[in-house]
Chain A
Amino acid sequence: GQQVMQIPQYQHVQEGEDFTTYCNSSTTLSNIQWYKQRPGGHPVFLIQLVKSGEVKKQKRLTFQFGEAKKNSSLHITATQTTDVGTYFCAVNDYKLSFGAGTTVTVRA
């Protein structure tokens, strides 16, 4: 099945700063999904990207799908304490496989 490498594994961010997490695949992806899991919570769907080069925004979150559909990124601007949690990308062939996640902590 398809596998994705997600980096970094941990991201410690000063409140107000920006950060980016990346997902990379060795194969072309049909689509990619992003989920957020708050501490002690469960993964919650954020967005799905389908088209080559697609960019979608949700308030301070910007999601991008690479032109070759082999990588994706999530960029958060002006990080807030509400952004803490683990962000997963997920890809599917016959099943949804999750990246290892980027766990984000925020320094106030």
Chain B
Amino acid sequence: DTAVSQTPKYLVTQMGNDKSIKCEQNLGHDTMYWYKQDSKKFLKIMFSYNNKELIINETVPNRFSPKSPDKAHLNLHINSLELGDSAVYFCASSQDQGANVLTFGAGSRLTVL
């Protein structure tokens, strides 16, 4: 069983569209994250949720809206997509919010045309 699974794996869309990425973890972890990895492989945290509550929001444009319906799920919705949003988005989870060891999903490669 995949510990952290995210869908879709690939997403190709036009500028201005809205898209969502879903993430689920079956590790029983309390904390989940979204990271963005750009073309230079730089990994930057976007959001973190602990038990469904937002605890980190790293000055991400408000076109990005995370939602955590329960502690096992963290979804990411992006409105009005821009070219610069093209990246690989990784979901991750950790035991708790003490920035413990992260378990990453396989990533969702978003290409905005």
Contacts and interface: CB of A to CB of B under 8 A. Distances in A.
- Chain B interface extent, by class: 20 to 34
Contact of A86 (B41, B90, B101, B104): B41
A37 to B, nearest CB: 8
A22 interface: no
- The prevalent SS among residues of A at the interface is strand
Contacts, number: 47
Interface stretch (A11-19, A42-50, A69-77): A42-50
- The prevalent SS among residues of B at the interface is loop
A92 B105 contact: no
Contact of B104 (A43, A92, A101, A103): A43
Nearest to A40: B107
Contacts of A43: 43, 90, 102, 104
B103 interface: yes
A81 B29 CA distance: 34
Nearest to B98: A92
Nearest to A97: B45
B107 A42 contact: yes
B48 A45 contact: no
Interface in A43-95: 43-45, 48, 86, 88, 90, 92-95
B15 interface: no
5 contacts: A48-B101, A95-B58, A100-B41, A100-B42, A101-B41
Interface of B: 40-45, 48, 56, 58, 90, 94, 98-99, 101-107
Interface of A: 33, 35, 37, 41-45, 48, 86, 88, 90, 92-98, 100-101, 103
Given A42-B104, A101-B41, 16 more contacts: A33-B101, A35-B102, A37-B41, A41-B107, A42-B105, A42-B106, A42-B107, A43-B102, A45-B102, A90-B102, A95-B58, A95-B99, A98-B44, A100-B41, A100-B42, A103-B41
